[in-house]
Structure 1
Amino acid sequence: MARMHTRRRGSSGSDRPAAETPPEWSDVDANAVEERVVELAEQGHAPSEIGVILRDEGVQGVPVPDVSLVCEKSVTDILADNDAAPEVPEDLYNLMAKAVRLNDHLRENGTDHQNKRARQNVESKIRRLVNYYRGDELDAEFTYTVDKAREIVE
Structure 2
Amino acid sequence: MHTRRRGQSGSDKPATDEPPEWSDVDADTIEERVLELAAQGKDPSQIGIALRDEGVQGTPIPDVKAATGKKVTTILEENDADPEIPEDFRNLLEKAVNLYEHVEENGQDHHNKHALQNLESKIRRLANYYRGDQLPADFKYTYENAKDLLE
Same fold, TM exceeding 0.5? Answer: yes
Alignment-mate amino acid for residue 121 of structure 1: N
2 CA distance for matches of 1:58 and 1:89?
24
Does structure 1 residue 57 correspond to structure 2 residue 54? yes
How far the C-alpha of 1:137 sits from its partner, in A, is 1.9
How far the C-alpha of 1:142 sits from its partner, in A, is 1.8
How far the C-alpha of 1:135 sits from its partner, in A, is 2.0
Aligned to 1:12: 9
Alignment-mate amino acid for residue 14 of structure 2: P
Does structure 1 residue 111 correspond to structure 2 residue 86? no
5+ residue gaps, structure 2, are none
Of residues 25, 31, 34, the one that matches 1:28 is 25
How far the C-alpha of 1:96 sits from its partner, in A, is 0.2
Aligned to 1:76: 73
How many equivalent residue pairs?
151
Q: Deviations over 1:51-102 (max 9, x none)?
A: 0000000011111011111111111111111111111111110000000000
The TM-score with structure 2 as length reference comes to 0.96
Deviation larger for 112-121 or 135-144:
135-144
5+ residue gaps, structure 1, are none
Aligned to 1:125: 122
Aligned to 1:102: 99
Aligned to 1:145: 142
Measured on the aligned residues, the alpha-carbon RMSD in Å equals 1.0
2 CA distance for matches of 1:150 and 1:73?
32
Deviation larger for 135-144 or 101-110:
135-144
How far the C-alpha of 1:13 sits from its partner, in A, is 1.6
